Amino acid sequence: MRALVTGAGRRLGFYLCEQLVAAGWQVTGQYRSERPELGRLRALGVELIQADFTRPEEVAALAHATARHEDLGLIIHNASAFEPLAEDPAEQLAQFDRFYRVHMAAPFQLNQVLAPRLACNANASIIQITDIYIHGPAPRFANYVATKAGAHSLAMSLARQLAPAVRVNTIEPGPILFLDEHDEAWRQQVLARTPLAREGGLEPIWQAVQLLLGNHYMTGASIKVDGGRSLAII
């Protein structure tokens, strides 16, 4: 079977491609910008397709290239854009549009084209990566959180629409892997309000993916993988 993973160029998406290959999947990965590390995925046999999700025509090209694979059984919508709310009000709408296209419009467009292909294969799944902060939105990240919440809502609607042929679930990460720009003070502040008091790493997300793939009676579910962090923000 084949999986499509978006945002495969780095961090979680890169890791999920590696794990899926190791588990016996054929993998197509979408990336926005070329990076030297992508050679590692190509060496594993991952089909990599460049697409900028702010450009609908490039999303369409990705969708139609992926639809050629009759064995498509999984889509993981992982691609993400993240930054604080723009300080200049004139920039906030442009920022919102960019986040909307990455988090909502691109997954919607891919699902439209690829859902019929998924439905032809047994136990097909769509997994949307969202964020625990959709339940406790912070004004500083309003555009990011709002569009991630929109992605969650679209996934829940799709779970009803595509059942029983395709299962649709979401994973809500917490502090699994800090960004390079997060200084030590910020990291300690976050972990101090996380009951398990540690950074999770990427493996727990893969374990959640495995659960969703293996449990054939789950659709419309959301799994928090956050060390309990959501208890402090909701």
Residues marked as catalytic? 144
- Evaluate the CA torsion angle 40, 43, 47, 48 in order and state its sign: positive
What torsion, rounded to 10 degrees, do the Cα atoms 147, 151, 157, 163 define?
A: 180
Q: Are 110 and 62 in contact (CB under 8 A)?
A: yes
CB atoms within 10 A of CB 15: 19
Element (H, E) at 161: helix 142-162
For residues 32 and 84, what is the distance between their CA atoms, to the nearest angstrom? Answer: 20
